[in-house]
Amino acid sequence: MAKPRIKELLSELQQFYVLSFDGLLGVVRKPFYSKDTFEQMDYAGAGSFVIILLVSLFIGMALSLQLSAELSRLGLKMYTGKIVGLSIIREIGPVLTALVFAGRVGSGMASELGSMILGHQVDTLRVFGVDPVKKLVTPRVVSSIIMVPALTVIGDAVSLFGGYFIAVFVSHQSAAVYWTSIRDVFEIENVVAGAVKPFIFGYLIACISCYMGLSTRGGAIGLRQTTTRAVVASFIMIIVSDFMLTRILLYLLGFSV
Amino acid sequence: MIVFDKVGFSYGSRPVLKDVNFSIQADERVAILGESGEGKTTVLKLIMGLQKPDSGRIWIDGEDITDKSEPELRETRLKLSIVFQEGALFDSLNVKENVAFCLREYSRMSEKEIDQKVRELLGRVGMEDAIDLMPEELSGGMHRRVAIVRSLAACEPKMFLYDEPTSGLDPVNAHNICSLILDLSRDGRGFVIVTHKMMDAIKVADRFIFFKNGVVIFDGNEEDLIKTLVPEVLVFMSDLNFDFKSSMDVEKQEG
């Protein structure tokens, strides 16, 4: 009983890797579906913009509030900006944006592709000689790889602004000190550490969501399971890969732990 | 045109087809019948190479397609035209874009030529007015007609495959779709229609293949059908008698 299950799991893993590889390879293979890619970028980027703004703003404010409260007890309130900046740029910003993106865009990708499978639209593409991976997966992979980093930059900026608002207007710290601390955080190591992750997260979210969507079976219940699995798997992969990437980047950028 | 040689297929551990043998000529009008879950749609998918058999060989137009890859299957697929259940129109495209899909993908026609071609094709099924509608704005019958037109725009097929083309349609629309299927076969191009509606099968087909538990239990023409003593086929025939009777009753009342 266990053997067929293991075989099935390995086969699924293999299919996932093949899809992920082909999805990326589609970028350099003709035909190019640029219209589909721009449509996906609009859906993924413009559609997620307001949610990212809201979530980032309140996370930045909450973080600044917590730190101000704790650091003022130790008489170290002037470090609020530095810690807010470091945690937002290197860790919270990329992870938060990726989680929101997976919840909103990844689930949408999975359910859209799933309903295309159930409605035989993917089969129709194959009958017409169109490669579904090139037509459906590549545009989503490209849009995610571009839009997650773009949204992360915007989210980081808004979070820092939220932190500033709390530090200056609630915790009564100096605005100059806050922004100087933030500016000090913008060292190449920190920026690289925060900039690499969103590309990887975007790629992972698109591949997982597309794979789950294209493996949908079993009607409306199957579609519900597909969407749930896509979001859960994306969340887990974001958190796990964040830890691994953090470890690798800290090592490569010369930080001692 | 289509040859199944001892074809076996299963979904996981559930066998759907067991050593199925049949051959269909390009000009034949064939109905594949059976209860739900008997693998009728799977037969169409195997013919189009959308699924691979677990055992046996499948021949299309003299070519063994069993082990062909996706790019190799492209040419074979252009010889056939399939209309999936409920049409399978692309949700995000309107009627014109759906019909023009293959023209835009493969032909070098200008936008004006594409527009002209789409209008001409839609005109054949009386759907010119629906050119700008989205799929969700179409009725079931319109869906099927657009799907049939779209498959015609894709290629000049030697044969048509229809998956439950009348399911979920009212009798008038179902009758219209049957008429359209017959119209398209007037020039000698045959078709395979998968259905569980005996009435529709009788209207359009000359040959009937029944599936039960993954095997062919009946393969014959209308005369064979009337004489058959296969119990499962007789159940379908009793439905037909009921349909005949009820349709006669309706006509009498209207008269």
Comparing CB atoms, the residue among A119, A121, A129 nearest residue B77 is: A129
Three-class SS of chain B:
CEEEEEEEEEECCEEEEEEEEEEECCCCEEEEEECCCCCHHHHHHHHCCCCCCCEEEEEECCEECCCCCHHHHHHHHHCEEEECCCCCCCCCCCHHHHHHHHHHHHCCCCHHHHHHHHHHHHHHCCCHHHCCCCHHHCCHHHHHHHHHHHHHHHCCCCEEEEECCCCCCCHHHHHHHHHHHHHHCCCCCCEEEEECCHHHHHHHCCEEEEEECCEEEEEEEHHHHHHCCCHHHHHHHHHHHHHHHHHHHHHHHHC
Give the integer Cα–Cα distance in Å for B184 and B161: 12
Cβ–Cβ gap A124/B88 under 8 Å = yes
- Residue for token digits 């008997």? B38
- Local structure of residue A129 (DSSP, 8 states): T
pLDDT at B108: 80
Contact B82/A at CB under 8 A: yes
Q: For residue B157, what is the domain's CATH number?
A: 3.40.50.300
pLDDT at A256: 74
pLDDT at B105: 80
Which residues numbered 153-192 in B keep a CB inside 8 Å of some CB on A? 154
Smallest CA–CA distance from A123 into chain B, residue: B50
Q: How confident is the model at residue B141 (pLDDT cuts 50, 70, 90)?
A: confident
Which residues numbered 99-118 in A keep a CB inside 8 Å of some CB on B? 115-116
Q: Examine residue B114 and state whether it is found in any structural domain, yes or no.
A: no
Decide if A113 contacts A208 (C-beta within 8 A).
Answer: no
pLDDT at A225: 94
Contact B93/A at CB under 8 A: no
Distance from CA of A109 to the nearest CA of B (A): 14
Contact B107/A at CB under 8 A: no
Smallest CA–CA distance from A121 into chain B, residue: B88
pLDDT tens digits, one per residue of A91-145: 999 999 999 999 999 999 999 999 999 999 999 999 988 899 999 999 999 999 9
Q: Examine residue B120 and state whether it is found in any structural domain, yes or no.
A: no
pLDDT at B199: 85
Q: For residue B11, which phi and psi values (nearest 5 degrees)?
A: -95, 105
pLDDT tens digits, one per residue of B144-176: 889 988 888 877 788 999 999 888 888 888 888
pLDDT at B254: 47
Range of the domain at B246: 2-89+138-254
Contact A218/B at CB under 8 A: no
pLDDT at B11: 85
- Local structure of residue A27 (DSSP, 8 states): G
- Split into its structural domains, chain B has a count of 1
Give the integer Cα–Cα distance in Å for B214 and B46: 14
Q: Is the pLDDT score of B233 beyond 50?
A: yes
Cβ–Cβ gap A123/B88 under 8 Å = yes
From B248, B245, B206, B247, select the one nearest B28 (Cα to Cα): B206
Q: Retrieve residue A94's tokens.
A: 């990329």
**Which amino acid, one-letter code, is at A119?**
G
Contacts of B44 in chain A (CB under 8 A): none
Give the integer Cα–Cα distance in Å for A136 and B91: 14
B144, with CB counted inside 10 A (0-12, 13-18, 19+), is buried
Q: How confident is the model at residue B246 (pLDDT cuts 50, 70, 90)?
A: low
Q: Examine residue B48 and state whether it is found in any structural domain, yes or no.
A: yes
Q: How confident is the model at residue A185 (pLDDT cuts 50, 70, 90)?
A: confident
Contact B106/A at CB under 8 A: yes
Q: How confident is the model at residue A1 (pLDDT cuts 50, 70, 90)?
A: low
Q: Examine residue B46 and state whether it is found in any structural domain, yes or no.
A: yes
Residue A31, preceding peptide bond in cis (omega within 30° of 0): yes
- DSSP H or E stretch at residue A2: helix A2-25
- Spell out the domain ranges in chain A: 33-252
Distance from CA of B70 to the nearest CA of A (A): 8
Taking CA B178 as the corner, what is the angle to CA B173 and CA B181, rounded to the nearest 5 degrees?
125
CA distances (Å), origin A188, targets A89, A157, A180, A196, A257: 11, 17, 16, 12, 18
Ramachandran sector of residue B210 (left: φ over 0; alpha: ψ -120 to 50; beta: rest): beta
Contact B136/A at CB under 8 A: no
Positive/negative CA dihedral, A226, A232, A235, A236: negative
**Which amino acid, one-letter code, is at B30?**
V
The model scores a pTM over 0.95: no
Best mutation target among B91, B107, B146, B148 (most A Cβ atoms within 10 Å) is B91
Decide if A240 contacts A191 (C-beta within 8 A).
Answer: no
Q: Examine residue B108 and state whether it is found in any structural domain, yes or no.
A: no
Average pLDDT over residues B19-32: 92
Q: Three-state DSSP class for A209?
A: helix
Comparing B168 with A67, the larger pLDDT belongs to: A67
Q: Is the pLDDT score of B255 beyond 50?
A: no
Q: Is the pLDDT score of B251 beyond 50?
A: no
Q: Is the pLDDT score of B128 beyond 80?
A: yes
Cβ–Cβ gap A123/B50 under 8 Å = yes
CA atoms within 13 A on the CB side of A40: 29
Smallest CA–CA distance from A118 into chain B, residue: B88
Best mutation target among A19, A117, A120 (most B Cβ atoms within 10 Å) is A120
pLDDT tens digits, one per residue of B189-227: 899 999 888 888 888 999 999 999 889 999 999 888 888
Give the integer Cα–Cα distance in Å for B157 and B149: 12
Contacts of B45 in chain A (CB under 8 A): 123
- The set of residues, in sequence order, having a beta carbon less than 8 Å from that of B239 and lying 6+ positions away, is B198, B199
From B17, B77, B69, B22, select the one nearest B47 (Cα to Cα): B77
Contacts of B89 in chain A (CB under 8 A): 121
Decide if A114 contacts A228 (C-beta within 8 A).
Answer: no
Q: Is the pLDDT score of A199 beyond 80?
A: yes
Q: Examine residue B85 and state whether it is found in any structural domain, yes or no.
A: yes
Comparing CB atoms, the residue among A121, A129, A131 nearest residue B88 is: A121
From A242, A234, A182, select the one nearest A208 (Cα to Cα): A234
Averaged confidence pLDDT in chain B: 86
Rounded to the nearest 10°, the torsion over CA A65, A70, A71, A77 is 30
